[in-house]
Each structure stands twice: as structure tokens, then as C-alpha cells.
């Protein structure tokens, strides 16, 4: 198993976590508050990732003005995020609820890495399978403030069939 498989598997787990995390934030801050926090944090992580890890050829890199606009946007996002965080304790927002934007940025990177190493079909099948496994664990144990939903034989069979499909699609040779 290569880096593409592990990137796809981790991406699927992150996707399964994003929904409950964003739902917890939306329940406390409303839809607009959740959307603002998620996307502003995603912007900050994306801009910082570009600034720190950019490997594009020189011709494809943003020029100085665009870079300054991106950094200004990231700073504005941090200011808004700080304002939201100040209001959060009064709303009873759990710390994990602020991970949605960060996880979303990681999902984008993980998907790119997985597709580059596995191809689109194998990457997406692996992502979906790991997403379903993680969702089953979230349900089983009632994680992220969700009610526990027990694993039934039908659910277990469905997960096993999905994993068999991953094996058939993603195996090498």
C-alpha cells in the first residue's frame, strides 16, 4: 500500500468527521456563523499552505499583488475568527466544532495526493469506503455529540461488501 492509499483512507475519515463537526457548530452559531467560520478557517489554512508548501513552477505562481490579497484575506479571516471565538464560550461551542474548515482544506490536499497516486476510481472508492467505516464508528459510539446508533447485521454486510469492492478496484495488477 502506497502513500495514495493512506491519503485516500485518511481523507475518507476526515470527510466523515466534517459533517458532525459542522453540525455541532451550526447548532450553536447558526448557519451563517458556521459557514463563516468553516470557510474563513479553510481560507487561512489554504493560504498558509500555499505560502509554506507551494511547489508550482515560477510561471504558475501568483504575482506579488495576488499574494498580498491572499494574505490580507487570511488576516481578515483570522480577525473574524477571533471575533467568533470570543462569542463561542457563551454559546457552549465545543472546541472540536471549529475543525471543519481545517479538515476541509486537508480533504482537498488528501484527495489530490490520492488521485495522483491511485487514479480517480481507486482513490474515490477508497475515500468512500474509509468514509463509511468512520461513519459507522461515529454512529456506533455516538461521537461528536451525536446519538449512538448500533451496528446491525445489514449495516455490517454493507460495509463488508464496500470493502470487497475497494479491494477489487484498488488492488495493483
89-119 pLDDT tens trace: 566 778 788 888 888 888 988 999 999 999 9
What is the three-class DSSP state of 62?
Answer: coil
Instruction: Report pTM.
Output: 0.77
Looking at residue 10, what is its pLDDT? 93
Q: Report the distance separating Cα 51 and Cα 49, nearest Å.
A: 5
User: Is 130's pLDDT higher than 60?
Assistant: yes
Q: What is the pLDDT of residues 147-169, one digit of tens each?
A: 999 999 999 998 899 888 877 87
- The torsion defined by the Cα of 9, 107, 147 and 98, in degrees rounded to 10, comes to 140
Amino acid at each position: 500500500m502506497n502513500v495514495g492509499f493512506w491519503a485516500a483512507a485518511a481523507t475518507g475519515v476526515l470527510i466523515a468527521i466534517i459533517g458532525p463537526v459542522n453540525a455541532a457548530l451550526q447548532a450553536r452559531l447558526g448557519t451563517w456563523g458556521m459557514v463563516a467560520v468553516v470557510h474563513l478557517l479553510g481560507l487561512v489554512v489554504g493560504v498558509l499552505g500555499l505560502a509554506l508548501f507551494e511547489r508550482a513552477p515560477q510561471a504558475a505562481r501568483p504575482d506579488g499583488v495576488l499574494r498580498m490579497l491572499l494574505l490580507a484575506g487570511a488576516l481578515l479571516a483570522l480577525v473574524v475568527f477571533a471575533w467568533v471565538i470570543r462569542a463561542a464560550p457563551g454559546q457552549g461551542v465545543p472546541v472540536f466544532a471549529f475543525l471543519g474548515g481545517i479538515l476541509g482544506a486537508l480533504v482537498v490536499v488528501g484527495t489530490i495526493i490520492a488521485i495522483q497516486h491511485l487514479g480517480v476510481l481507486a482513490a474515490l472508492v477508497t475515500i468512500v469506503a474509509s468514509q463509511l467505516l468512520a461513519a459507522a464508528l461515529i454512529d456506533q459510539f455516538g461521537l461528536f455529540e451525536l446519538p449512538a446508533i448500533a451496528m446491525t447485521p445489514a449495516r455490517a454486510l454493507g460495509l463488508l461488501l464496500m470493502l470487497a469492492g475497494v479491494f477489487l478496484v484498488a488492488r495493483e495488477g
